[in-house]
Amino acid sequence: MSLSIIILAAGQGTRMYSDKPKVLHTLAGRPLLTHVYHTAAALSNREIHIVYGHGGEQVPEASREFHASWVKQEEQLGTGHAVQQVFPNLPDVDNILILYGDVPLITEQTLEVLVDAASESGFSLLTTYLDNPRGYGRIIRDDKEKITAIVEEKDASEDQRKICEVNTGFMVVNGKKLKEWVNALKNENKQNEYYLTDIVELAVKDGVNVTSVIADSPIEVQGINTRSQLCEAERYFQLVQAHHLMNNGVGLMDPGRFDLRGELEIGRDNEIDINVVIEGRVKLGNNVTIGSNCHIKDTIIADNVHVLPNTMIDNAVIGNGCRIGPFARIRPDTSLSEDVHVGNFVELKKTDVGKGSKVNHLSYLGDSHVGSGTNIGAGTITCNYDGVNKHQTIIGDDVFVGSDVQLIAPVKVNNGATIAAGTTVTKDVAENALAISRADQKAIPKWKRPTKK
């Protein structure tokens, strides 16, 4: 039997105290809804129906890459009402899996078990046991342990509130029956909502044996309602990722102080110190070490590279044997060839640096090209911006740039040239020439320092 999937994502998320729709808050750098969507997409090749509402078009607009059918629930009248909005698009023949957009850690494996459990009975429910079941719908069973109903916390009696088996919200129901039962829902309860959970009682009345699957990891079915819960889910997710990386050979100094917000492709013998954040798509070669407090985003790093502490790299390509940092900032569209050294307080933007060249201290190179074997002295700055346009600086191979040099772009320094310290380069420099621009030094002998009056 085919499987159609509905993701409910219309709710407001009042307890986040945020103007952003709850499902767009991020876990490991991606919206909550994106996590659920990807899990859903892995389970079924049928269209995925997403019910949205609160926050309006922001949710579909932020999720353009999904292949989904979006259904707007104009007013949030309850989970049953939300499911009902999808009916015109739902085939009767399918089993329907219902997911929540604010429960991001649910796994494909658990859902597969749930889907299997519904293949016979036509109705399966994912439940879990919580030490503190507050806020959840409680699972009511008869003396033969058969499920008879779900009672919401607000409608539950004192005895019912003591039940620790709770509704996770995930269920698989036969499509035709789902429509019948949901269309029969009433909103006569404390919240005046159409509760999807009330279909359990209707199914039992129709003689259906509602089967349950018990999720053994409560965090997997934890809904995100508050920022604390979001943070709990984040830490859990990060630890899972960290241990996965360690199990594949990455040396993490502390899995509790490592954050991966995207995808990390690893090599052998990668060592990562504490408080490192990896974002987007990052690829590491072999024998790469990353020092503490580094932030690396959308970057490819080759073998034997050492990134020293407090370095930021964004959208760059780093060649074999490079050494970067501490305190370096590599900005987008930068590429370093082999054995390049970039030192402290150096900023590179849209710059490529050739083999073996060094930019070791306090420099800014933007929109530039540096050849191989070149040394850039401390405090060198490419003046690439004239207030309106950006201009290129080209520095050849085997060039020596002394300290405190300004290169007024567009300008070209040819191979083998030397630039004396303190020079402001305004004209191209010929091959093997020395460029020097320096005011003559004066000396006033026996200079008396001013004294305080």
Question: Which are the catalytic amino acids?
Answer: 361
Cα 110 from Cα 417, distance rounded (Å): 66
- Among positions 86, 166, 272, 353, the unique one binding ligand UD1 when judged by CB under 6 A: 166
229 binds, among Ca ion, ligand UD1, none (CB under 5 to 8 A by kind): none
- Site residues for Ca ion, 193-232, by CB under 5 A, read 223
The nearest distance, CB 226 to Ca ion, in angstroms, is 10
How does strand 312-314 pair with strand 329-330?
parallel
Give the interface size with Ca ion as a residue count (CB under 5 A): 1
How does strand 165-174 pair with strand 411-413?
unpaired
169 binds ligand UD1 (CB under 6 A): yes
Residues in contact with ligand UD1, shown as a per-residue x/- string from 190 to 229 under the rule CB under 6 A: -----xxx-------------------------x------
Cα 367 from Cα 164, distance rounded (Å): 62
82 binds ligand UD1 (CB under 6 A): yes
- Among positions 40, 51, 316, 342, the unique one binding ligand UD1 when judged by CB under 6 A: 51
Cα 360 from Cα 321, distance rounded (Å): 15
Nearer to ligand UD1, 185 or 308 (CB): 185
Nearer to Ca ion, 223 or 343 (CB): 223
Nearer to ligand UD1, 213 or 313 (CB): 213
9 binds ligand UD1 (CB under 6 A): yes
- Among positions 78, 285, 319, 377, the unique one binding ligand UD1 when judged by CB under 6 A: 78
Query: Which residue stretch of 112-120, 163-171, 288-296, 336-344 sits at the interface with ligand UD1 (rule: CB under 6 A)?
Result: 163-171
Residues whose CB is less than 8 angstroms from the CB of residue 443 and which lie 6 or more positions away in sequence, other chains included = none
Question: Which residue has tokens 């300290």?
Answer: 403
11 binds, among Ca ion, ligand UD1, none (CB under 5 to 8 A by kind): ligand UD1
Closest by CA to 196, choosing from 117, 287, 87, 55, is 87
The nearest distance, CB 361 to ligand UD1, in angstroms, is 53
11 binds ligand UD1 (CB under 6 A): yes
Cα 83 from Cα 97, distance rounded (Å): 11
152 binds ligand UD1 (CB under 6 A): yes
170 binds, among ligand UD1, Ca ion, none (CB under 5 to 8 A by kind): none
Task: Give 286's DSSP letter.
Answer: S
Nearer to Ca ion, 54 or 177 (CB): 54
Query: Which residue stretch of 62-70, 79-87, 240-248, 389-397 sits at the interface with ligand UD1 (rule: CB under 6 A)?
Result: 79-87
How does strand 123-129 pair with strand 165-174?
antiparallel
Q: 3-state class of 419 per DSSP?
A: strand
Cα 352 from Cα 453, distance rounded (Å): 55
**Number of neighbouring beta carbons within 10 Å of residue 447:** 6
Cα 50 from Cα 53, distance rounded (Å): 10
Give residue number: closest CB to ligand UD1. Answer: 137
Say if CB 19 and CB 28 are below 8 A apart: no
Say if CB 281 and CB 297 are below 8 A apart: no
79 binds ligand UD1 (CB under 6 A): yes
Structure tokens belonging to residue 204: 């039992």
Q: For residue 60, say if its preceding peptide bond is cis, omega within 30 degrees of 0.
A: no
CA angle 107, 108, 109 (to 5 degrees): 90
117 binds ligand UD1 (CB under 6 A): no
The nearest distance, CB 207 to ligand UD1, in angstroms, is 23
Provide the binding-site residues for ligand UD1, judged by CB under 6 A: 8-11, 51, 73, 76-79, 81-82, 100-102, 136-137, 150, 152, 166-169, 195-197, 223
Provide the binding-site residues for Ca ion, judged by CB under 5 A: 223
